[in-house]
Amino acid sequence: MNNRQVRLKGRPQGIPQAEHFEIVEAAVPEPGEGQVLVRNIYLSVDPAMRGWIVDKVGYSAPVAIGEVMRSFASGRVELSHHPDFAVGDLVTGMFGWQDYAVVDGKAIQRKISELDLPLSTSLGVLGLNGITAYFGLLEIGQPKSGETLVVSTAAGAVGSCVGQIGKTLGCRTVGIAGGVNKKRLCLDEFGFDAAIDYKSEEVDAALAKACPDGVDVYFDNTAGPISDAVLKHLRLGARVAICGTASIASWDPIPQGPRVERHLLVKRARMQGFVVFDFAQRYDEARTKLAEWLRNGTIKYREEILEGIETAPDAIAGLYRGENLGKRLIQLASADA
Amino acid sequence: MNNRQVRLKGRPQGIPQAEHFEIVEAAVPEPGEGQVLVRNIYLSVDPAMRGWIVDKVGYSAPVAIGEVMRSFASGRVELSHHPDFAVGDLVTGMFGWQDYAVVDGKAIQRKISELDLPLSTSLGVLGLNGITAYFGLLEIGQPKSGETLVVSTAAGAVGSCVGQIGKTLGCRTVGIAGGVNKKRLCLDEFGFDAAIDYKSEEVDAALAKACPDGVDVYFDNTAGPISDAVLKHLRLGARVAICGTASIASWDPIPQGPRVERHLLVKRARMQGFVVFDFAQRYDEARTKLAEWLRNGTIKYREEILEGIETAPDAIAGLYRGENLGKRLIQLASADA
């Protein structure tokens, strides 16, 4: 039983590229007392992962050179020395980019209970993407019925969910995405009332047209020029929820942009950053609601599933090239028992 | 009875200078039905006044060329055709930079009731300066006991009040001001726990020393490089209350600065603009509390009183040159009956 692992080989400046990883074969250790052996079925590929390997104080200690790349994954228990988990259980957690993970029972995020839904959703809509959308929109954006909600990276795993939750709440939803295909996805699949392709359209003018009353809530996954344009359209009392900064290649040194203070002052507006981990005590609440929305068709999702661990090293870079349509996953084994 | 008026002569780009005003003698009109004749005793000089003459959509329509400069003022009723006001009453309102104002009764902001306190406080601590400090700090900054509060333009009319209210709430207070005299005022008069002279000290290093645990609340009157430095020291869950942008000479075009998104994200922090007028329904609440603090010595204030209307044209420019120590007023007549 060989374990292929994707290890961090070098520390990138900015976006991690294929050259910063290497695939290595290693033995699978024997699980000890209280430990569980998990065979990974899906590995997650998330924009936030670039932050996990930057040698800077961030949310957590960076992945060390030579270490398996940290990632969320979902898989099946193959061996268990922990009373809470049995062989065959589907589980999700920080299992890393590898075929097999030996982890402490308490390191398993949860046993998957939505067995009627595809396992892949545990890393997307029912994973941190959906939960991020849920708390970021409801707790930080605080949209009200009739308000205008603008979302950047609107065709992405988080953005698409934000738009659909906003729509359910009675908002006018406007999605910003890169490319004709993503724009179409926003309109046809995720039900945005309007969509803007920032690659082919002049965002400022398109926003003026799409948001005639201004922007009440901006769910921001990008920072950069898209945000600069949205800020000009804020309405009195607007809320900006800062979820990610996809358009900024590097924060060292901090890039320059138009100052925000006057927009915030004149519009009595608020910009607020959040990290989903702050809501860890409330994940079940979000997941229950999201699963309900999935089952009744309120929320649709799109996935792009890469086949095989060989696709991993270039997978984060691909996200930042904007090449994926939907939540990016890597499949290592069959989800069927 | 001649009325000297300071009229807007030209529209400035940026900070209004003496050359943008002219002093003109005019007749005092006869007050009509429901109107009141007020003799101005104190004229207010406020940083916000530069925004009132900029030909841009702001909080209100700009002062027209040839019009009397809009300003807060306090004075005495000399003639009244309004049942709520009698000759001799002290009143405050938007009476403009002139000796006499004829106004509708409803244009009078209030009849001054704190006759035991100096009339000048009606334009400072008991006027919009104090009320701005009160709501901006309590409602937007939301400081808690034991937190660190940083204030820019800390020796000014608003900033000094913010610091003293913060101190009363149990905060560690750190004031940033320009020049040795203002720094001393912060420490000796307004009771800040620490003060930084941004003209002679390296603000970033000084903040690190003055705020060893980071900054929980930043009450920002400046924007610009001072704010850029403070943002680097925000603590988890910090709140930035944006009250003014004194260090920005012009917002057209919007100046560049370091992007704020990553600070807000990593620190789960909030930046929020506010305008005191939004709290207009609650002014009495603030004034009652502020008057109580004035009487029991919790809040001290400093004024710089210019003599005569000839000082008005250069008075706003002087604020931005940072030459005043304390709330700047122009006295036109004796406050004694």
Assign A55 a pLDDT band (cuts: 50, 70, 90).
confident
For chain A, the average pLDDT equals 95
Helix ranges (H only) for chain A are 49-52, 128-135, 157-168, 180-188, 203-210, 224-231, 261-266, 283-295, 315-321
- Alpha-carbon distance of A44 to B76, in angstroms, equals 73
Nearest chain B CA: its distance from A318 CA (Å)? 22
Contacts of A228 (CB under 8 A, 6+ apart): A257, A258
Residues of chain B neighbouring A239 (CB-CB closer than 8 A):
none
Report CB contact under 8 Å: A269, B268: no
ipTM > 0.95 (yes/no) = no
Sign of CA dihedral A281, B148, B274, A260: negative
Q: Where are the domains of chain A?
A: 2-124+302-331, 128-277
Residue B221's pLDDT band (boundaries 50, 70, 90)? Answer: very high
* A84 vs B: CB within 8 A: no
CA B7 to chain CA centroid, nearest Å: 21
* Yes or no, beta carbons of A261 and B223 under 8 Å apart: yes
Residue in B closest to A60 by C-alpha? B266
pLDDT of residue A103: 96
Residues of A in contact with B264 (CB under 8 A): 242, 271-273
Answer yes or no: do B273 and A265 touch at CB < 8 A: yes
* Residue of chain B with shortest Cα separation from A278: B268
Q: Tell me the per-residue pLDDT of A80-127, one tens digit each, with 9 for 90 and over.
A: 999 999 999 999 999 999 999 999 998 899 999 999 999 999 999 999
pLDDT tens figures, B4-47: 999 999 999 889 999 999 999 999 989 999 999 999 999 999 98
pLDDT at B324: 86
pLDDT of residue B325: 87
CB B121 within 8 A of CB B127: yes
Query: In this predicted model, what pLDDT tens digit does every residue of B274-313 receive, in sequence order?
Result: 999 999 999 999 999 999 999 999 999 999 999 999 999 9
Superfamily of domain A2-124+302-331: Medium-chain alcohol dehydrogenases, catalytic domain (3.90.180.10)
What is the C-alpha end-to-end distance of chain A, expressed in Å? Answer: 18
Look at A261 and B278 and tell me if their CB atoms are within 8 Å.
Answer: no
pLDDT tens, position by position, A162-208: 999 999 999 999 999 999 999 999 999 999 999 999 999 999 999 99
So what's the pLDDT on residue A1? 72
- Which CATH homologous superfamily contains domain B2-124+301-331? Medium-chain alcohol dehydrogenases, catalytic domain (3.90.180.10)
A235 touches chain B (CB under 8 A): no
| Topology (CATH) of A128-277 | Rossmann fold (3.40.50)
Tell me which chain B residues have a C-beta less than 8 angstroms from the C-beta of A256.
256-259
- Number of neighbouring beta carbons within 10 Å of residue A252: 11
Q: Indicate yes or no: CB of A273 within 8 angstroms of CB of B272.
A: no
List chain B residues with CB under 8 Å of A260: 260, 271
Looking at beta carbons, which residues of chain A come within 8 Å of B223? Answer: 259, 261-262
**Minimal-distance CA residue of chain B relative to A251:** B262
Who among B244, B248, B271 is closest to A271 (CB)? B271
What pLDDT, in 10s, does the model give residues A267-291? 999 999 999 999 999 999 999 999 9
- Mean per-residue pLDDT, B137-163: 97
* Angle of the B180-188 helix axis to the B157-168 helix axis, nearest 10: 30
Q: What is the reported pLDDT for A177? A: 97
**Residue at token pair 């659909």:** A164
A210/A151 Cα distance (integer angstroms) = 12
